[in-house]
A = this chain, B = another copy of it.
């Protein structure tokens, strides 16, 4: 309750979203009520509604935060050589989905709470990752159509692989990373990138 008095609006919002990320990763969307969230945050339901008008709105906002975090975690220092950059980016991705595996699996399986709005956040995130590969990885402006398709396809490859990897947990990370890197190299080559 001391916190309640001290936190500013932005801080409170950020604190709630951080809490939401943890809750949605620990339990199913349906198993979490607005009361649970308010109780976990140590605030009243009324105050929670002041920040987020519904559980679904709250969920969408946590997905946006998660997407930003994923984009940040897959950013590799510019000065690294291309191959190391890719390794670093893939590790960042795999670390993140591993640490948030339940939330990631729910999201990918269109678990309850996933709708067109959440899906749009996901697609926007994929576009941001593709843009980074094109501009920073390949040093191109806009990709030609076949390259754009190839990169969107590769993102699907990474997601499909991650889903299966997290579900079964019987493939060493280093083998998975090699599979993802090889698929990217092959997709680029097929799309005519030298």
A183: interface (CB < 8 Å): yes
Task: Tell me the dominant secondary structure on chain A's binding face.
Answer: helix
A39 near B: Cβ within 8 Å? no
* Copies of this chain, whole number: 2
User: Could you tell me the distance between the alpha carbons of A150 and B160 in the complex, rounded to whole angstroms?
Assistant: 9
Given that A145-B170, A156-B159, A171-B145 are contacting pairs, would A150 and B123 also be in contact in the complex, using a CB cutoff of 8 Å?
Answer: no
Task: Give, as a whole number of angstroms, the nearest-CB distance from A86 to chain B.
Answer: 15
Residue A178 CB within 8 A of the other chain: yes
Give the distance to chain B from A174, nearest Cβ to Cβ, in Å: 11
Q: Which B residues are in CB contact (< 8 Å) with A153?
A: 157-158, 160-161, 164, 179-180, 183
Tell me the A residues contacting B by CB distance below 8 Å.
109-112, 114-116, 118-120, 123, 145-146, 148-150, 152-161, 163-165, 168, 170-171, 175-176, 178-180, 182-183, 186-187, 190-191
Complex interface: chain B residues within 8 A of A170 (CB): 145
- The docked-state distance in angstroms from the alpha carbon of A159 to that of B160 is 10
A160 contacts B171, CB within 8 Å? no
Q: Contacts A156-B157, A160-B157; is A179 near B110 (CB within 8 Å)? A: no
Q: Bound state CA distance, A118 and B111, in angstroms?
A: 10
A149 and B154 CA atoms in complex are apart in Å by 14
Contacts of A150 in B (CB 8 A): 161, 179
Q: Out of B111, B114, B119, B186, which one reaches A183, CB within 8 Å?
A: B186
**Given contacts A110-B119, A168-B145, A183 and B179 within 8 Å (CB-CB):** no
Give chain B residues whose Cβ lies under 8 Å from the Cβ of A152.
Answer: 160-161, 163-164
- Alpha-carbon gap, A163 to B176, bound state (A): 24
Which one of B149, B160, B175 contacts A156 once the chains associate, using CB atoms below 8 Å?
Answer: B160
